[in-house]
Amino acid sequence: MTRYLIVAWSLLAGTAFAITPEQLAQHWAPRIYHDTNSSYGYEAEYITRVDYDGNWNSNDNWENLYQYAKPSYLYYKVSETATHYFIIYGAFHPRDDGPEYLWPVPTDKHENDFEGAVFMIRKDGSDYGQFIAMETMAHNQFYQYSNLALQEAHDDIDGSVPLYGHRPKIFIQANGAAPSNGHAWHACDSNCSSAPGGDGIVYYYGGVAEVPNGGSGNYSRQFSYDLISLDTLWEKRYDVNNLPFVFWGTLGGDSISAAGERLQANAANLPWTWDDSAQYVYSGDGPTWVGDFNADAPHMIDTHFGNVTSFGSFSRYYLRNDHYNCSVDLLEASSQSNRDPWGGKSDIYVEGYANGQPFWSESLFKKDGANVGTFYATWMGAYDATTRSYNGVTRRRYLNVPANQNVTFEFRVYDSDTGGDDYMGSISRQLKAGQYVSGYREATSNGDARLSYSVSCVR
pLDDT of residue 182: 82
Residues of the chain above pLDDT 70, percent: 91
Confidence of residue 278 (pLDDT cuts 50, 70, 90): low
Q: What is the pLDDT of residues 394-406, one digit of tens each?
A: 999 999 999 999 9
Of residues 182, 186, 181, 190, the one with CA closest to residue 136? 186
Of residues 46, 31, 25, the one with CA closest to residue 210? 46
Whats the size of the chain, residue-wise? 459
Is residue 15 exposed (0-12), middle (13-18) or buried (19+ Cβ within 10 Å)? Answer: exposed
The 3-state DSSP class for residue 60 equals helix
Q: What is the pLDDT of residues 405-448, one digit of tens each?
A: 999 999 999 999 988 899 999 999 999 999 999 999 999 999 99
Please compute the mean of the pLDDT values over residues 307-327 and round it to a whole number.
92
Contact indicator for 48, 94 with CB cutoff of 8 Å: yes
Domain ranges across the chain: 21-273, 325-457
**What is the rounded average pLDDT for all residues in the chain?**
91
Please compute the mean of the pLDDT values over residues 132-156 and round it to a whole number.
89
Please state which of the four CATH numbers 2.40.30.10, 1.20.1050.10, 3.30.1370.140, 2.60.40.150 is assigned to the domain occupying 325-457.
Answer: 2.60.40.150
> Which phi and psi angles does 404 have, rounded to 5°?
-75, -10
pLDDT of residue 392: 63
Cα angle 173, 174, 177; round to 5 = 80
Rounded to whole angstroms, how far apart are CA atoms 173 and 183? 5
Is it the case that residue 180 has pLDDT exceeding 60?
no
pLDDT of residue 311: 83
Confidence of residue 19 (pLDDT cuts 50, 70, 90): confident
- Which residues are within 8 A (CB) of 281 and not within 5 positions of it... i.e. 6 or more apart? 287, 358, 361, 362, 363, 386
Rounded to whole angstroms, how far apart are CA atoms 82 and 87? 15
Select the highest-mean-pLDDT range: 76-80, 152-156, 309-313: 76-80
Is it the case that residue 15 has pLDDT exceeding 60?
no
Pick 160 or 310 by higher pLDDT.
Answer: 160
Of residues 114, 396, 134, the one with CA closest to residue 271? 114
Rounded to whole angstroms, how far apart are CA atoms 360 and 247? 24
Pick 393 or 103 by higher pLDDT.
Answer: 393
Beta bridge partners of 34: 172, 201
pLDDT of residue 237: 96
Is it the case that residue 104 has pLDDT exceeding 90?
no
> Which phi and psi angles does 273 have, rounded to 5°?
-130, 15
Is it the case that residue 359 has pLDDT exceeding 50?
yes
Contact indicator for 380, 349 with CB cutoff of 8 Å: no
Confidence of residue 10 (pLDDT cuts 50, 70, 90): very low
pLDDT of residue 399: 98
The amino acid at residue 19 is: I
Is it the case that residue 134 has pLDDT exceeding 60?
yes
Q: What is the pLDDT of residues 60-102, one digit of tens each?
A: 999 999 999 999 999 999 999 999 999 999 999 999 998 876 6
The rounded Cα 386 to chain-centroid distance in angstroms is 22
Rounded to whole angstroms, how far apart are CA atoms 61 and 426? 45
Rounded to whole angstroms, how far apart are CA atoms 293 and 290? 8
The rounded Cα 281 to chain-centroid distance in angstroms is 16
Q: Count CB neighbours of 365 within 10 A.
A: 27
Pick 79 or 179 by higher pLDDT.
Answer: 79
Rounded to whole angstroms, how far apart are CA atoms 83 and 144? 20
Pick 241 or 359 by higher pLDDT.
Answer: 359
The 3-state DSSP class for residue 113 equals strand
Confidence of residue 156 (pLDDT cuts 50, 70, 90): confident
Is it the case that residue 202 has pLDDT exceeding 80?
yes
C-beta pairs of 1-4 under 8 Å, 24+ apart in sequence: 1/440, 1/441, 2/439, 2/440, 2/441, 2/442, 2/443, 3/438, 3/439, 3/440, 3/441, 3/442, 4/429, 4/437, 4/438, 4/439, 4/440, 4/442
E strands in 230-292: 245-247, 250-251, 268-269
pLDDT of residue 282: 38
pLDDT of residue 4: 42
